[in-house]
Amino acid sequence: MGFPGTWMTESESMVYRVVPKCACSTIGQIMYYSDHGTFFEGDIHDATSGLHKWALEDSQPVISERVRAHKAYTFTCVRNPYTRILSSFFDKICGIQRNGERYRGKLVPMLIQKYGIEVEGDFDQITSFRRFLLFARDTIRFRKPMDPDIHWSAMSSHIATFIANGGRYDRILWTENFNDGMADVLQAVKTPIEVKLEEVPRFNESEGHGPKRAHPVEAFFDDLSMHLVYEIYKRDFELFHYDFENPASRMPVGEIDLDEVHAKLSS
């Protein structure tokens, strides 16, 4: 299976396992800059040179060799499951993508028909989100009416594929404490170009795709939707130490134990 979703600098200074909706655009641009002294023009997800990616056939043997021998500093990044699933909804379901189309073609019309969500005009964001959450649960738990999408499948599932195929992480960052975590990564590696984090813009490529969120995070989650979120993301809450009990509590409440993560996600 290899290492899907894995990026590596051309200088082989660092390896990053992408987790969608967890600062991946900013991380990719930092990696690109650390080799080339300039940011990629456009969405870093579209880059086909300047960065090794598992999706590029020529990059696969290089990534495999470095990862399996653990010859490069390796990290990933996680995010509070409550804010991550909300971001997925507003970006991928409500938003128009950069190609000018709805995400995945017939997905949104199917959600409108089968789950009764609305995405146009002054719609009820809370009601539509909770109906989307039922759909996300159905895809993850039952793989119906489709397989789960990478943007709302569990972070632990993304991270586990890397471990199961022979990779090991040196660091897992929190999006909510990004600057401190990324500073530690950059301090641990030697890059061709120095990166000054305070001068790096935030590359939120999904910003502006969808409507602005009209309510605080906690307003979207009643008892039932909190139960659904826990059903879907129980392992994410436990391994990455986010507060399930309080959707308004964005920050992690404990330290990530890398040995625990590798032990629990290795099979």
pLDDT tens digits, 28-85: 999 999 999 999 999 999 999 999 999 999 999 999 999 999 999 999 999 999 999 9
pLDDT tens digits, 230-246: 999 999 999 999 999 99
Q: Categorize the per-residue pLDDT at 207 as very low, low, confident or very high, splitting at 50, 70 and 90.
A: low
Tell me what pLDDT residue 1 has: 73
| Spatial contact of 169 and 262, defined as CB atoms under 8 Å apart | yes
Residue in this structure with the two tokens 């979207």, named with its chain if needed: 220
Tell me what pLDDT residue 204 has: 74
pLDDT tens digits, 134-174: 999 999 999 999 999 999 999 999 999 999 999 999 999 99
Q: Is the pLDDT of residue 202 over 90?
A: no
d(CA 8, CA 170): 14
d(CA 250, CA 79): 9
